[in-house]
Structure 1
């Protein structure tokens, strides 16, 4: 892991006060940690750890628009100035990045798995920042390294990402690869894709989903009018599961709100509908980890996509705090 691991660089941002904690912003309160060293923290609090995955190789192999390797920095820049309203109920940590600059995606995914395993072993809730959606394979491998259970996967995505692995994996093969891992280890494979576009997936991919028991909800079936029905389907999927790993590909969102993605979607989902569904998943108390992938700054007009993702992260943390306080 060490040759791909970069410890964090402190964020900078607006400072309204250096003494009034009620005026502090995230960049003034985040704790920066090195995963190769011991960490001190209060285990009575909700401890959340960010980790970036600076990688474009999976998108490149999938013939997508490259640029997501700079996504973690872009998201962090937008998060830096959020008000530190999570205090005193949570602590935020930043553990830096896993990088992939040499094209060896498989090694980078293994390094990511090791980093995720360390984060979990330290008692943190992981929030990973992509990077291409190939982040999902390394993230999942890290989640199952030392756990007795295999989390179910909920993927907000315009693509099923169940493509066959021909020679090497990409940003379109991860959940097929995860299915293969589960089969080899005799583990349950539970996967739901929310927001899949019929124009973005071949019939072969839908056939693959059905053949392995994967669930999906099409984008065309998700709207404000159908929100309750969609929410019910998601909760039916969650009901008998012990843990949920949530992964969000920003290409699930409408291009009007999220132009800075690897595969832009003109008929993507409304951001508020997605956010409300994310909150409903958190409210089950089963969420064990989260990543957000494929923010591509080179295509991101006025940093709209990065800012939207940063708002999602802000809302996720507040929802996790609310859940903890109500337990």
Structure 2
């Protein structure tokens, strides 16, 4: 199963402009990335300042099941293409690793999510900070399980807070089958099984994109959230205080971004574009605030759909968000 639906990244994905062959401070990411194979038993933990481990989740099966517009299967490739030319904003003791892709073909969605969980656990075992490239937002279920399985080896009762930048709660029932709209309902049930807290905070929720039933479910599960409309109108200090209170109760934070949280003017290449979404500047302000807690253990960005994009705007924005993430992590080390 692992070898069938896991592939290392093609070397041709990482190429681009070269300003210098010997001056590291003129390097771009494609000159500094190292491909790794998660099936390699000789993999050893990274021991320098900071190691970043990228892995793609090539799937939009969850979007299809959720009756959304497909196309996110090719998201990881598009994001890599835009990341390739990013400048190295760090010193040589920071290293980038590409761990390849999980491919959702000729297997069930559950199987690909299980495989993703194994991969995330391996990346964390290698002392790397995981950055996952979507793919549909169903990436979140496998990602969370990978973090949980890793932490269970180090603590009896992991305390993981989920912060989701999203226009949707993704708390739909999954009686028949799971999708890109059910992940956090599934995670809440796993938390019950594991006897751990379900700690979930959504940023950018849209009233017109969630039924009253979903708001009811969110309240029943003690979900914290910030409406997108309040991010433009309310006093920022009140919203950040609400977020700070949530963060203070967590030992670890897992951040996931569904790109439909962003206004369609900035992120047109998603399954469900949001005309009233938040701006990238607001997202980055909140993202950096969370990162500065030093509790973030893992990150993903989902729902990048190249075939629905305009002039690669959405994949370029995803790469820019990842750049800011890496830059902030490096400055805190």
Q: TM-score, normalised by structure 2?
A: 0.95
Residue 54 of structure 1: CA displacement? 0.2
- Return structure 1 stretches of 4+ with deviation > 4 angstroms: none
Distance in 2 between the 1:255 and 1:100 partners? 27
- Residue in structure 1 matched with residue 37 of structure 2 by the alignment: 34
Selected match of 2:199 from 165, 169, 190? 190
Selected match of 2:240 from 202, 208, 231? 231
1:295 aligns with 2:304: yes
Query: Any unmatched runs of 5+ in structure 2?
Result: none
2:136–2:180: 8 Å Cα contact kept in structure 1?
yes
- Residue in structure 2 matched with residue 23 of structure 1 by the alignment: 26
Output one character per residue of 1:123-172: Cα deviation in whole Å (capped at 9) or x when no partner: 11100000000000000010111312141100000000000003110000
Output one character per residue of 1:266-299: Cα deviation in whole Å (capped at 9) or x when no partner: 0000110110100000001000000000000011
Kindly report the root-mean-square deviation, in angstroms, between the aligned alpha carbons of the 2 structures.
1.2
Distance in 2 between the 1:39 and 1:31 partners? 13
Secondary structure class of the residue paired with 1:145:
helix
1:151–1:242: 8 Å Cα contact kept in structure 2?
yes
Distance in 2 between the 1:41 and 1:123 partners? 5
Q: TM-score, normalised by structure 1?
A: 0.97
- Residue in structure 1 matched with residue 324 of structure 2 by the alignment: 315
Secondary structure class of the residue paired with 2:311:
helix
- Residue in structure 1 matched with residue 313 of structure 2 by the alignment: 304
Distance in 2 between the 1:89 and 1:321 partners? 10
Distance in 2 between the 1:271 and 1:69 partners? 23
Secondary structure class of the residue paired with 1:158:
coil
Distance in 1 between the 2:183 and 2:4 partners? 23
Distance in 2 between the 1:161 and 1:18 partners? 46
Output one character per residue of 1:51-94: Cα deviation in whole Å (capped at 9) or x when no partner: 00000100000011100010000000000001112232411100
Selected match of 1:115 from 103, 119, 130? 119
Distance change >3 Å, CA 224–CA 43, structure 1 → 2: farther
- Residue in structure 2 matched with residue 169 of structure 1 by the alignment: 178
Distance change >3 Å, CA 3–CA 103, structure 1 → 2: closer
Secondary structure class of the residue paired with 1:146:
helix
Distance in 1 between the 2:169 and 2:249 partners? 22
Distance change >3 Å, CA 96–CA 191, structure 1 → 2: same
- Residue in structure 1 matched with residue 138 of structure 2 by the alignment: 134
Output one character per residue of 1:224-283: Cα deviation in whole Å (capped at 9) or x when no partner: 763222222111110121110000000000000000011100000011011010000000
- Residue in structure 1 matched with residue 9 of structure 2 by the alignment: 8
1:279 aligns with 2:283: no
The number of equivalent residue pairs is 324
Distance in 2 between the 1:89 and 1:225 partners? 41
Distance change >3 Å, CA 90–CA 224, structure 1 → 2: farther
Distance in 1 between the 2:23 and 2:132 partners? 30
Distance in 1 between the 2:220 and 2:204 partners? 19
2:60–2:73: 8 Å Cα contact kept in structure 1?
yes
2:46–2:126: 8 Å Cα contact kept in structure 1?
no
Selected match of 1:57 from 40, 56, 61? 61
Distance change >3 Å, CA 187–CA 57, structure 1 → 2: same
